[in-house]
Amino acid sequence: MKRRSHRPPRVAQWILDRALHDVHADEVLGDVEETYNRIHENGRAEWARLWYWGQVIRSVPLFLFASVYWATVMIINNLKTVLRTLRSHKGYTILNVVGLSVGIAVTTFALLFVQHEYSFDQDFSKSDQIYRVVQDFNLPSEQGSTAAIGWTIGELLSENFPEITQVTRFTTDSRYTIQHGEKLFSEKTVHSVDPSIFDLFDIAIVSGNSQQPLPNYESIVISESAANLLFGIDDPIGKTVTITEPTIFRSDLTVSAVARDMPTNSHFQFDYLVRVKPKPSDRAAVTGRWGGGYTYIVLPKYSSPEQLEEKLPSFVDDYIGPEVAKSEGSSWEELKNSGRSWTLSLQALTDVHLDNRYEAQYEGALGRSGSRTNITFFLIIALFILILACVNFVNLATARSSSRIKEVGIRKVVGSSRKQLIYQFLVESTVVSLISAAIACALVVVFLGVFNDFLGTEITFDPIGNGYHIAGLVIVALTVGVLAGSYPAFFLSAFRPAELLSGSLHTRRRGVSLRNGLVIFQFFISVLLIVATVVVFNQLSFMQNKDLGFDGERVLVLQNVPNKFMHAESFAWRGLMSERGYTVDDWMSLNRREQAELIEASGGEVDRLFFMTGRRLRVFQQQLLAIPGIQSASFSSVVPGRENGFGINVNSLTTSSGSDIDIRLQFIDSAFFETLQLPLVSGRNVNIGDAAMGAFVINETAAELFGPESPIGSTVEDRLAILEGDAYTPKGFDSPIVGVVKDFQYADMRTAIQPTIFSPFYPNGMPAQILVRLRSGTVSETIAAIERTWNEFIPGDALNYSFLDEDFARLFKAEKQLSKVFGFFSMLAIIIACLGLFGLAAFMAEQRTKEIGIRKTLGASVQSVIQLLSTRFFWLLLIGNGMAWPVGYILMHKWLDNFAYRTEIGAEVFLITAAITLALVIISVGGQALRASLSNPVDSLRYD
């Protein structure tokens, strides 16, 4: 081109070109350039440039507006076509919409759940600066991970590390009774907190003293819901609340403030806050063993916790090591060299909910304490369900391609470009998925309550008010629309019109292999879910039916009895103390040694609280035994199936063979084995004459450690250190084993039975629970009699009791929940897969109506026609099953590995699965095949 110099301004040209974005762009640009050149040739180059820009500025808005206009016209046109298509194929539309709405609803639930789980503790003003101090320890006597750490660690940390700007600590105790006037609530949790907690967790004070919510030890802060419970509409500020707890005694506290309830997505939940009292410094102070507290530190903004964490090992060496050394009886260096360890680490506040390594309790498979595994699990299954629904859409769309092929052909002939066709099919799938999303929305609203009840959450769903929710739903719907629609769109638009209309195209063959693959995939997922359901269910019934070793059917667990006795006793005891001139707070501020000295100095007049309570409990036991309906009543330090677990201590004991073994110690009385109907395998029971730690019964698992010889007569040597004077010294005993008792299950089935030794109680020692074995027949009369006896000892307080077998069944909550989750998901998967199969089968039957008619005219039997239509599905079913079985086996085997006592995955699991899926295929395909095969060939061949 000669006229290079006359090139119009490039940027302007580019802008105009972009704005046109149209088939005529070239000519329009040419027109403008022609005029530009003319002005230019007249020698007014600058004028020409200005003119060009002027054109651009004036025209671009017009062109843009026009393109929006035409795009809208096209979408409306497409929508009309799409709605017409959807309406004329109502059956398929319904199949697709049902499947997709279920899929989208499930995905929405999954996303809501994930969002809820990840939202924990994110909204505090210092969320990203707060860390919880946690510890992992591995010692000869005990191993574990816990967030309950030494009480003084918080102070020591802030003394040693100036970068820590704030420390707060709290302990919780759930055994409080809260009382105001007539209203009394027992088993309430009270948090004893440092006042700085209000700042850390943004606790909002609704009324009362907001500057200093807990001004002294006599004040209490209650939550709004607790205020409602205790005071109703009255103003709680300044009122007196009495809280009683067995070991801290009774206090009358004044309500100093009412705090807003914590958001449900915080791991820190409270109803009653009291100020924590200075603790006596004892060995729990730095190790947190035998009861620690939760400690949170605040670091400056944007500072990394790793820098502090690096300094923690030497901190442990300085403060915790020496204390551990004392109780373990060897130096900290030695312990470390032999591979023992004690680690303090920082856990980000926002991780506390999801990282459940430091929480001891199981709260159900998808329960309150979160876990990343659960989230992933839930999300994956929900996505699978959604994919199954998308698969239905793809399958039905491609299968129907032959019936839409004329539509496509004619559209192409009249000049639709491939792009337009793709666009049209995508609009179609998007419309279907948007309709489904709207229905899903309604489903979520309807089932949200059930969902929350099941998970114990308070998730809300607000598709109108919450922008994230509506946006999330639309994004899911659009993604589904594009994903589900793109294959059919490309597949259908790829046909060439000549082939389409001349009929030379083998439409039936195209897409078949993909469709088969997708059907196999659907079977695969369904089979996998069914296998999982069956295995979880088997394990559940295995656990429920497993012989626990003891008979808990008529065993009553009297709950909290020792605590309440102690509490009742404490009033008497407190009276004695005040006669001597001490207040309870004086007493609590003493350490144990000083307390012991005081008791000593009182000349025995002030008896130990423990002793008095223990003695009265024995009297209670004797009176229980006088009730005719009671066969036996036993005290023990732990009860099978209770949350507080089994062992009170894990001791390393030396057997006569000289080797150290980890073993659990449990205190019992002579009635324990009879109450639980546990037979002795050899030797004798402990009896009244045996001193505490003077004779032991061991369980079978412990007996196995002794090898083939009978353990009876062997001795057990203690290495537990106890406080004597100023130092911890090994106490040491050397007592014989007198009997072996049958093994019994005391924890859930994840934990194997541990080697255990049973020792008689110390005289008047405190039991954890009381077990009462009832005689058959007169259960309700006997319970009434127990309550009467109870009230003679503790007037005006209700007795809490439960049956041991029911307590134990509660341990299976997690598995029960999991079996429900799997059951529910596999049901959904099956329903969706069946919808798809039903659609495919219906379509195939319809498409082959003439073929079937001809076959029947030529003498084909009903049976052979059914075969013709359904054989293919049975093959796909077979392949799907074949692929899913090994995968299901491996996955579920892995799950079962969590259990010490577990069922095996037998052939019956797969037979059941095969039977279920076969039944489904027969129902969804068979009906269509039967209808087609029974049809009168005259009807199908009449037209044409």
Partner 1 sequence: MSFLTRTEELILLSIWNLQDNAYGAAIRDHLTDVSGYDWSIGAIYIPLDRLAHKGYVRSFKGKPTPHRGGRSKRFFELTPDGKAALIKIRRVQDALWKSRPLAGLAGAK
CB of 936 to partner 1, least distance (A): 51
Helix (H) or strand (E) holding 136: strand 130-138
Residue number, 55 or 602, with CB nearest to partner 1: 55
Tell me the closest approach of the beta carbon of residue 884 to partner 1, in angstroms: 56
Cα dist from 789 to 560, 622, 752, 794, 842, whole Å: 15, 11, 38, 9, 73
Q: Which is nearer to partner 1, 37 or 507 (CB)?
A: 37
Angle, helices 609-625/779-793, rounded to nearest 10 degrees: 150
- We find the least distance from the C-beta atom of residue 14 to partner 1, in angstroms, to be 13
Give the residue ranges of DSSP H helices in 557-634.
561-579, 584-589, 592-601, 609-625
Count of C-beta atoms within a 10 Å radius of residue 471: 10
DSSP letter (8 states) at residue 926: I
Between residues 53 and 362, which has the closer beta carbon with respect to partner 1?
Answer: 53
Q: Are 243 and 272 in contact (CB under 8 A)?
A: yes
Which residues, in sequence order, are bridge partners of residue 881? none
Confirm if 395 and 519 have CB atoms less than 8 A apart: yes
Shorter beta-carbon distance to partner 1: residue 4 or 301? 4
Residues 6+ apart with CB under 8 A from 551: 676, 677
What separation in angstroms does the CA of 270 have from each of 133, 168, 261, 495?
20, 15, 8, 66
Kindly tell me which of 26 and 600 has the beta carbon lying closer to partner 1. Answer: 26
Q: State in angstroms the smallest separation of the CB of 858 from partner 1.
A: 55
For the bound state, the minimum distance from the C-beta of residue 3 to partner 1, rounded and expressed in Å, comes to 6
Shortest Cβ 503–partner 1 spacing (Å): 34
CB of 56 to partner 1, least distance (A): 9
The DSSP secondary structure of 155-186, one letter per residue, reads: HHHHHH-TT--EEEEEEEEEEEEEEETTEEEE
Which residue number, 55 or 189, has a Cβ lying nearer to partner 1? 55
> Are the C-beta atoms of residues 569 and 609 closer than 8 Å to each other?
yes
- Contact set with partner 1 (CB under 8 A): 1-3, 6-8, 24, 26-35, 37, 54-55, 58-63, 66
* Nearest CB to partner 1, comparing residues 42 and 544: 42
Which is nearer to partner 1, 23 or 626 (by Cβ)? 23
CB-wise, 35 or 764, nearer to partner 1?
Answer: 35
Strand partners, 343: 136
Shortest CB 388 distance to partner 1, Å: 44
**Least Cβ distance, residue 73 to partner 1 (angstroms):** 9
> C-beta of 74: minimal distance to partner 1 in Å?
12
CB of 55 closer than 8 Å to CB of 14:
no
Residue closer to partner 1, measured from CB, 76 or 862: 76
Q: How many CA atoms lie less than 13 Å away from 408 in the CB half-sphere? A: 29
Are 801 and 556 contacting, i.e. CB atoms less than 8 angstroms apart?
A: yes
Tokens of 324: 């551990």
Least distance from C-beta 84 to partner 1, angstroms? 22
Any long-range contacts for 366-374 (C-beta under 8 Å, 24+ apart)? 366/113, 366/454, 366/455, 366/817, 366/821, 367/455, 367/456, 367/813, 367/814, 367/817, 368/456, 370/117, 370/120
Nearer to partner 1, 3 or 18 (CB): 3
Exposure letters 555-581 (e unless 16+ CB within 10 A, then b): bbbbbbbbbbbbbbbbeebbeebeeee
Q: 20 vs 676, which CB is nearer to partner 1? A: 20
Looking at the Cβ atoms of 3 and 810, the one nearer to partner 1 is 3
- 126 DSSP assignment: T
CB of residue 405 to partner 1, shortest distance in Å: 29
Of 18 and 357, the one with the shorter C-beta distance to partner 1 is 18
Token output for 403: 């019936």
Nearest approach, Cβ of 79 to partner 1 (angstroms)?
A: 19
DSSP letter string, 815-883: HHHHHHHHHHHHHHHHHHHHHHHHHHHHHHHHHTHHHHHHHHHTT--HHHHHHHHHHHHHHHHHHHHHH
HSE at residue 863, side-chain half, CA atoms within 13 A, is 0
Closest CB 425 distance from partner 1, rounded Å: 24
Q: Which is nearer to partner 1, 17 or 224 (CB)?
A: 17
Question: Contact, 166 vs 196, CB < 8 A?
Answer: yes
**Both structure tokens of 881:** 């099953």
CB of 39 to partner 1, least distance (A): 11
> Between 2 and 87, whose beta carbon lies closer to partner 1?
2
Report whether 261 contacts 212 (CB < 8 A): no
Buried b / exposed e across 925-934, counting CB within 10 Å, b at 16+? bbebbbebbe
In the complex with partner 1, the residue whose CB is nearer, 32 or 104, is 32
Closest approach, Cβ 81 to partner 1, in A, equals 18
Cα–Cα distance, 894 to 897 (Å, whole number): 5
Query: At a CB cut-off of 8 Å and minimum separation 6, what does 530 contact?
Result: 826, 830, 912, 913, 916, 917
Nearest of 639, 762, 658 to residue 705 by alpha carbon: 658
If you compute the radius of gyration of the chain from its CA atoms, what whole number of angstroms results? 38
Number of alpha carbons in the 13 Å side-chain half-sphere of residue 330: 11
To partner 1, the closest distance from the beta carbon of 24 in angstroms equals: 6
